[in-house]
Structure 1
Amino acid sequence: MQYNTIEMATDVQSKSARKPSVFLFIAATSALFGAIAMGTVLGWSSPAVTSLKDPGSSPQIKEKGTQTEAWIKSSTTLGALVGALASGPLAQVLGRKLALILYGIPMIAGYLCLWLAPDFATIIVGRTLTGLSAGLISGTAPTYVVEISTENVRGMLGTGFQLSVTIGILMVYVFGAFLTWSWLSFICLFLPIVMSLSMLLMPETPIWLMTKAGGDHSKGSKVEKSLKSLRDTTNDNDSELNEIAEQAEESSKTSGFSMKEINNPLFYKPFVLSVILMWLQQFSGINAVMFNSSDMLTEAGSTLEGKYAAIIIGVAQVIATLAGTLLVDRLGRKILLIGSGIGHAISLGILGIYYIAVTDRQNSSFGWIPILCLVVFIISFSLGWGPIPWLMINEITAMHFRGVVSASATGMNWFCAFLITHNFEAIQKWTSPQFTFFMFAFWCVVSVPFVIIFLPETKGKTFDEIQKFFVKSSDGHSDGHNKMEMKGLNE
């Protein structure tokens, strides 16, 4: 399809001029409370397992590296895997708003189990329930935020999901340094309550309402009211409503996802890219680091006590993720992912070399190196591979396929997280700590050419423009013509 240059420029200008209302940011913040709660789930095991090893703890972990300890850490990711796979269909049927309201319930129940747990079995049940909720939230909260956003703030708010996760992680690191695992669980209990209650007052996304209204966006309709509340009063919402109606019409042409659509480039290309994005995110080793940061730093001979070094890492993660959130709509997605992958590979490579070169790590004068490497690793992750995959999955996927692709990619994320967290210490015992760091560094190196070659830039693009990119690259044009069209979309 050919476009008149003047018409394209005018169209892009009008779309970029769309302004969000203050209420849009309030709605996004309400959904992101769920991401903060998810962060507490991810960060809980690092201070809590340390607390469970204290002599006064009941129950008490008496020996490092037991199956009990492994299941306390990994049961969350197993529950999250189930939640992630269910999140897409549930959010599609219930709507994003109602789904997020209900997702708080299993996390509240899980933290109650952890707060009152008399034994390890109850702790594992609590961790599984909080993980279930984290998986549900991770599959729906980014979708809600992206769908309510305008193009000029979509990157910032979309990456705000990962920023909120890091805030939750830092929160449990700070409280966990001074509280027992039980009272830490009590503090974490309030975040899912806040999410569920605040979402009661928020609007449903206009695009989901449009699919349920059959394209009806007449004055006074739910769709029109929702969009009006999310946009500045100076906006002309008619063009956006028409655009959303077109997307809803395309989505309504089929009653649901079927296997015959597997050859549709609007499905299989975003699906493959999304799954690989999540694979590479997890095989950077992030959850191995976050779940075991205190123990890793202690064993590496860090000169700072593990729980306090973990707080430093948490602070670095929040600051770097905030920087990534502010830069993603300025620099674009690809450049941040490339820089992030390079930073990962270098920091993990140096950490592996440190383990080889320094044999007496407890008495080494180089105990600052592990902290520096992990801080650089966390900063690199937080600038790119932390926030951007969550954003891009919903950006590159058409509305009709978003539930399936988001659930599948998020399921892959949590499946990889389970494999890594459950087997991390076992792999270290079977091989060596440096082997695991070099293994993660390998996948970080692989991530760089993947981004350069295969991933489209989505900065400033409407959903319609992004979908046209996938169709154009599959319509049988010559390679030279495809490259010209790709260049036009990436400019």
Structure 2
Amino acid sequence: MDSKRIIESSSSSSSSPLLFRGNAESQSQQYDSSDDVASNDEQHKQKITSSSSSSSIPPPTLTFTTLVAVFGSYVFGTAIGYSSPTQARIMIDLNLTVAQFSIFGSILTIGAMIGAIVSGTIADYAGRRLAMGFSQLFCISGWLAITIAKDAWWLYIGRLLVGCGIGLLSYVVPVYIAEITPKNLRGGFTAVHQLMICCGMSLTYLIGAFVNWRILAIIGIVPCLVQLLSVPFIPDSPRWLAKMGRLKESDSSLQRLRGKNADVYKEANEIRDYTEALQQQTEANIIGLFQLQYLKSLTVGLGLMILQQFGGINGIVFYANSIFISAGLSESIGTIAMVAVKIPMTTLGVFLMDKSGRRPLLLLSAVGTCLGCFLAALSFFLQDIHKWKEVSPILALVGVLVMLMQSFPYTLNFGLECEIS
């Protein structure tokens, strides 16, 4: 590959803000293959590489590494799903008010915000692999604090620490998976991140219906320990190693991920050229985001983030069991219904994501979220006016299930924000 051409192309776009750097980078890597044919040996290497990279069967090391990474996604899901099945027992055992438990439920998002803010810096300086292990120290400490809690303050501290941990994981895991996977497998592998979040949340709902809240917190430590103990056995991101100037380690990591007999010549050169082009770009400032040429993309990206946070899904997920009980439904029926709907719908979303596109799924998610909120609100409105009481539990159940059915396209917001940037 002609690295000089890449550097020139990247320098011409160096004034672009960091948020929109992805477009410049992807354009800078395009080249005319007719100019790059230097010898028969070069052509032979490219053919071998092309045939090996097009294989749809992932190497064992790549599969194992991705599995270790998505344990972090599972931890994310368990943290989100913990408050719903444990609310009643925690309030009774620790004599908490509704306001105190509401703080316990919502403080997770404050911790996640803190973790997300520092996640990029930690991942860049320590590496993706160590960042995942570091995040699990927060999660384990938080779950232990919840397990031994004697009052509300221990719960708050534990929930905040878990939030910091999952805030780190929310950035590091998808980035790490995207950086270690080949292009032809990247979409499916990154979608597993969302699927494991769903599995963690759903299984926590289910297990929480049968075990004490302290035991459920101990169970939450298990996937944290699995990832923490497995991290030393997986390779670091080849792209991060190349970015840090550790080129030999980058090549070794790439070879390990692609398999002992795989030809990684072309991909290794692409990573090096990409890194060189990236280093030529100047750092952008946040004021540059508000230039007229980026206004549409910025509006779409921020709009998706706002809709994601204010769409009501977090309130439904955190307090689903309480909603069911208030609507007159059995807690166990609601939990089983949620698990029966959420995992299959998320799995379906994984397969539809690349076939139907992001935009149709997001539109479907928006409509479904509105419908779910409307049905849940209508259920409680009918209870307040004492009309159609026999219908209100059904409306609440359908409303919550419709909201949860939209949760996978809803989580595509993050991915689409990255793409439009």
> What is the deviation of 1:395?
4.8
TM norm structure 1? 0.70
> What is the deviation of 1:262?
4.5
Among 226, 249, 266, which residue is 2:253 paired with? 226
**Residue equivalent to 1:337:** 362
2:415 pairs with 1:380: no
> What is the deviation of 1:98?
0.8
**Residue equivalent to 1:79:** 111
2:346 pairs with 1:346: no
**What secondary structure, in the 3-state scheme, does the structure 2 residue paired with 1:385 have?**
helix
> What is the deviation of 1:351?
3.2
Q: Is the 8 A contact 2:59 2:257 kept in 1?
A: yes
Q: Is the 8 A contact 1:155 1:325 kept in 2?
A: no
Structure 1 pair 37/322, CA: closer, same or farther in 2 (3 Å)?
same
**Residue equivalent to 2:413:** 389
Letter of the 2:322 partner, please give it.
Answer: D
The residue correspondences of 1:102-251 to structure 2 (distance < 5 A) are 102-213=134-245, 216=247, 221-231=248-258, 235-251=262-278
**Residue equivalent to 2:129:** 97
**What secondary structure, in the 3-state scheme, does the structure 2 residue paired with 1:137 have?**
helix
Between the aligned partners of 1:264 and 1:139, the Cα distance in structure 2 is 27
Among 74, 88, 91, which residue is 1:50 paired with? 88
2:350 pairs with 1:313: no
Decide which moves more: 171-180 or 261-270. 261-270
Structure 1 pair 360/259, CA: closer, same or farther in 2 (3 Å)?
closer
**What secondary structure, in the 3-state scheme, does the structure 1 residue paired with 2:233 have?**
coil
Between the aligned partners of 1:132 and 1:318, the Cα distance in structure 2 is 26
Q: Is the 8 A contact 1:153 1:329 kept in 2?
A: no
Structure 1 pair 74/263, CA: closer, same or farther in 2 (3 Å)?
closer
Structure 1 pair 231/28, CA: closer, same or farther in 2 (3 Å)?
same
Q: Is the 8 A contact 2:81 2:204 kept in 1?
A: yes
Decide which moves more: 204-213 or 351-360. 351-360
Structure 2, unpaired ranges of 5+:
1-26, 36-45
Between the aligned partners of 2:387 and 2:323, the Cα distance in structure 1 is 12
**Residue equivalent to 2:43:** none
TM norm structure 2? 0.81
Structure 1 pair 207/174, CA: closer, same or farther in 2 (3 Å)?
same
Structure 1, unpaired ranges of 5+:
398-491
Q: Is the 8 A contact 1:152 1:329 kept in 2?
A: no
Between the aligned partners of 1:198 and 1:120, the Cα distance in structure 2 is 33
Between the aligned partners of 2:117 and 2:361, the Cα distance in structure 1 is 28
Write the deviation string for residues 322-357 of structure 1: whole angstroms up to 9, x where unpaired. 111122233332222222222222333333344444
Q: Is the 8 A contact 1:301 1:361 kept in 2?
A: no
**Residue equivalent to 1:21:** 59
CA RMSD of aligned residues (A): 3.1
> What is the deviation of 1:200?
1.4
> What is the deviation of 1:213?
1.6
Q: Is the 8 A contact 2:140 2:162 kept in 1?
A: yes
Structure 1 pair 238/225, CA: closer, same or farther in 2 (3 Å)?
same
The number of aligned residues is: 379
Percent identity of the aligned residues? 27
Q: Is the 8 A contact 2:289 2:298 kept in 1?
A: no
Between the aligned partners of 1:269 and 1:231, the Cα distance in structure 2 is 39
